[in-house]
Amino acid sequence: MGYCSGRCTLIFICGMQLVCVLERQIFDFLGYQWAPILANFVHIIIVILGLFGTIQYRPRYITGYAVWLVLWVTWNVFVICFYLEAGDLSKETDLILTFNISMHRSWWMENGPGCMVTSVTPAPDWAPEDHRYITVSGCFLEYQYIEVAHSSLQIVLALAGFIYACYVVKCITEEEDSFDFIGGFDSYGYQGPQKTSHLQLQPMYMQIPLDNN
């Protein structure tokens, strides 16, 4: 019962991870955040493999999924530190999340709850011609805290998924070992019933020459 409950819980966690990361992927696409887009894409693939392994009793898939969750937690911790500007990190750096391809920021910067966007004219000389120069005010919640909340949710789901993945792999391994023990009597000289062949014996006739003398 415990194994079935753990397996069903892991399936539910994988489903929640897929829903949350797909929602996050949409907003990262809208904000042209290329590094998170790539990380989200890899995460989606591995969660699907982990879900497949859980349903089909494939411990190797589940183990790979658990290993990836460690890297996924590390990535989300970095994102939190980035938006909170921990250490020398700065959320104004273009190179980290956009690969220095664009000057876009998080989609939530302009579209957060209560945010008022005002265009500034004329634009400064350093502003690119294909970009508008704006100011954002009145936000009920700053965009960096929304991004931190997204990453925090991913960390919670990843930790839960890691715990249940380890538990399910342990249960599957123990179950396979028990089957090997039950079927391992051959190594101790046990032999099952063998089919006996029924052969019909035929008489043989030999001709012996007679001596006339």
Q: At what angle do helices 2-30 and 143-182 cross, to 10 degrees?
A: 150
Closest CA to 65 of 161, 175, 171: 161
Task: Decide if pLDDT at 186 tops 60.
Answer: no
Amino acid code (one letter) for 166 = C
CA separation for the pair 184, 129 (Å, rounded): 75
pTM above 0.95, yes or no: no
By the 8 A CB rule, do 104 and 98 touch?
yes
Tell me if 187 sits within 8 A of 74, measured CB to CB: no
| Residue range 60-96, pLDDT digits in tens | 999 999 999 999 999 999 999 999 988 777 776 656 7
Q: Which pLDDT score, from 0 to 100, does residue 1 have?
A: 46
